[in-house]
């Protein structure tokens, strides 16, 4: 059984027991979150596709960790003019473990 969920402007294919990193969610570590934007649910070959979401479907997950991703460096440079700009960014993420898919 698997599902396609939408969170943080991105779509993820998830299955029970899977650990994945999503955009930051406002939840404490070791708490459960319910993701209700389920776009597709597949159960033993039976596929339900939502328009845009599947009614009554939700994915229950446990928050494993909160953290920051690797640093991304943006560097602009123009030769012979002394122009350069350097910016760094670390994206926040939430690591979740899928515990149940309710269709």
Q: What is the pLDDT of residues 66-101, one digit of tens each?
A: 999 999 999 999 999 999 999 999 999 999 999 999
Residue 21: band (very low, low, confident or very high) from pLDDT cuts 50, 70, 90: very high
The answer, yes or no, to whether residue 13 has pLDDT greater than 90, is yes
Residue 45: band (very low, low, confident or very high) from pLDDT cuts 50, 70, 90: confident
Instruction: Answer with the residue of higher pLDDT: 9 or 103.
Output: 9
The answer, yes or no, to whether residue 103 has pLDDT greater than 90, is no
Q: What is the DSSP string of the chain?
A: -EEEEEETTEEEEEETT-EEEEE--S--TT-EEEE--EEEEEETTEEEE-SSS-TT-EEEEEEEEEEE---EEEEEEETTTTEEEEEEE--EEEEEEEEEEE-
């Amino acid at each position: 059984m698997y599902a396609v969920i939408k969170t943080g402007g991105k779509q993820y294919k998830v299955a029970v027991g899977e650990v994945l990193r999503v955009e930051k969610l406002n939840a404490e570590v070791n708490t459960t979150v319910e993701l209700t934007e389920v776009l597709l649910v597949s159960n033993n070959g039976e596929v339900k596709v939502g328009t845009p979401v599947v009614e009554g479907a939700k994915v229950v997950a446990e928050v494993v960790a909160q953290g920051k991703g690797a640093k991304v460096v943006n560097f602009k440079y123009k030769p012979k003019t002394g122009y350069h700009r350097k910016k760094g960014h670390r994206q926040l993420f939430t690591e979740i473990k899928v515990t149940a898919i309710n269709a």
